[in-house]
Amino acid sequence: MTVSDLGEFGLIEHLKDKFSLAEVGDDTACIELGGEKILLTCDSLLEGRHFLPFYPMSAVGWKSVSATISDIIANGGRPLYLLVTLLLPDLELKKVEELYEGMTRACEFYGTKIVGGNIVKSEKLGLDLFAIGQTRRFVGRGSAKVGDGVFVSGTLGDSLAGLELLLMEKKSYEDFELSLIERHLRPTARIDYVGHISKYANASMDISDGLASDIRHMAKRSGLRFNIIKEKLPLSRELYEFAKKHGKDPYQYALKGGEDYQLLFTHPPEKINPFLDMTQIGYVQDGEGVFVDNKPLEEYGFDHFRS
């Protein structure tokens, strides 16, 4: 048997069981330190896997920070510090500076700071970030409750559409296409939701591998049935225009598209905040599995060893 036989998430479950790693299961680890709840997480971006060589280096830097601290935000925390390991080919110094410019701008935006790291020579460019955050109340993915509404922030599917547009390598793009490309290159982690998640959410995680994949993890960890209403999935005007132009189904992008870094969370429906761009897309029931319009959700989404 090889790793690809198990897949990314099958491997995680295998290692948890074999080595009794009961604490593993959320995107951050929550530890008690000096009476404070500290969140720890790490994330990696590798050239050719998470970004392409022609991407602006500043965008790669921004995205690496956003992707890493999105997990802390999703679990109800505020990011504090980052350590950065660079896997570095012999690049021009200007490109390395552009990379760090993107990271430092993101850190300023999120109120966090790079405090150290490591550099190792590599054949391909890569970044491995370790983040530390703090929270008053840890909110994991496995504590949804029967009767909860299922909510998402923002709109879904934009990043995947932006990636597909980049891969077209067109000479020029329309304004709506440029907006989608920007959402892929420079996603924004939803730090504006920290207070709401920490105060009201029963279960929460970010949408990095695609809604269809991530909601399945939440349902399984919570041991409950999640019912989604397809027409409730929030779609941007730009995604509608993209789908119309290219003959695509925008709801498929909303379900399978990764790297939006929006939030998926549950809490009682009456706790909705009208000042945040949240949408209730379904509800939590007794049972198990994930259903869309009362039909079992197809299995798709990003897996490092099967995608």
Give one word for 147, left, alpha or beta, with left for phi > 0 and alpha for psi -120 to 50: left
Residue, of 306 and 187, whose pLDDT is higher: 187
CATH number assigned to the domain covering 3-135: 3.30.1330.10
Average confidence (pLDDT) over 126-155: 97
* The domain made up of 149-296 is a member of CATH 3.90.650.10: yes
Confidence of residue 304 (pLDDT cuts 50, 70, 90): very low
Structure pTM?
0.91
Q: What pLDDT is attached to residue 206?
A: 97
- Using a pLDDT cut of 70, give the percent of the chain over it: 90
- Which residues make beta-bridge pairs with 127? 45, 86
Mean pLDDT of the chain: 92
- For position 298, what pLDDT does the model report? 82
The closest of 222, 185, 200, 172 to 63, measured between CA atoms, is 185
Looking at per-residue confidence, does 299 or 261 come out higher?
A: 261
pLDDT at 17: 56
Residue 223 clears pLDDT 60, i.e. is over it: yes
265: Cβ–Cβ under 8 A, 6 or more apart, which residues? 74, 139, 150, 151, 152, 197, 201, 202, 203, 204, 205
pLDDT tens digits, 144-159 = 999 999 999 999 999 9
Domain boundaries, given as residue ranges, for the chain:
3-135, 149-296
Of the candidates 151, 243, 239, which has an alpha carbon nearest to the alpha carbon of residue 190? 151
Dump strand ranges (E) for 148-288: 149-153, 203-207, 225-228, 262-267, 278-285
Query: At 12, is the secondary structure helix, strand, or coil?
Result: helix
Quick one: pLDDT at residue 21? Answer: 47
243 pLDDT higher than 60? yes
Summarised one tens digit per residue, pLDDT across range 24-73 is: 557 899 999 988 999 999 999 999 999 999 999 999 999 999 999 999 99
The domains spanning 3-135 and 149-296 adopt the same CATH topology? no
SS3 221: helix
- Report the distance separating Cα 180 and Cα 163, nearest Å: 8
**Residue 10 — pLDDT band, cuts 50, 70, 90?**
low
